[in-house]
Amino acid sequence: MKTLLRFFPVLVCVAVFVLGIVLWRRTGEPPPPPAVPVSPVHDDSERAQRSPLFSPDGRYVAKVEILEGPCPEKFGQCWVVSFHTPEGEELFRDREGFPLPWNVYWAWDARGRFWLYNTDDGAEYIWTRQGTRWMRELAPFLPYEACMKTATPDPRCPPPVLADVVYKHLKPRE
Q: Which of 7-11, 32-36, 99-103, 157-161 has the lowest mean pLDDT?
A: 32-36
pLDDT for 33-51, tens place per residue? Answer: 433 333 333 344 456 788 8
The distance in angstroms from the start CA to the end CA of the chain is 75
pTM: 0.66
Please tell me whether the peptide bond between 70 and the residue prior to it is cis, using omega within 30 degrees of 0.
yes
* DSSP assignments along 45-78, one per residue: TTGGG-SSEE-TTSS-EEEEEEES-S--TT-S-E
**pLDDT at residue 61 is higher than 60:** yes
Of the two residues 19 and 52, the one the predictor is more confident about is: 52
Write the single-letter amino acid at 14.
Answer: V
The b-or-e profile of 32-49 (16+ CB within 10 A means b, else e) is eeeeeeeeeeeebbeebb
Residues in CB range of 40: below 8 A, 6 or more apart: none
**pLDDT at residue 20 is higher than 90:** no
Task: Compute φ and ψ for 35, nearest 5 degrees.
Answer: -65, 135
pLDDT for 78-137, tens place per residue? Answer: 889 999 999 999 999 988 888 887 788 999 998 899 999 988 778 899 999 998 899 999
**pLDDT at residue 173 is higher than 50:** no
pLDDT, residue 98, reads 83
Distance (Å, rounded) from C-alpha 141 to C-alpha 69? 28
**pLDDT at residue 11 is higher than 70:** no
pLDDT, residue 46, reads 57
Torsion of CA 143, 41, 51, 106, to 10 degrees: 0
Of the two residues 38 and 159, the one the predictor is more confident about is: 159
Quote the longest CA-to-CA distance of the chain. Answer: 86
pLDDT, residue 7, reads 59
Cα 6 to its chain centre, rounded Å, is 52
- Asked if 99 contacts 80 with a C-beta cutoff of 8 angstroms, the reply is no
pLDDT, residue 27, reads 58
With 0-12 CB in 10 A as exposed, 13-18 as middle and 19+ as buried, what is 174? exposed
pLDDT, residue 101, reads 74
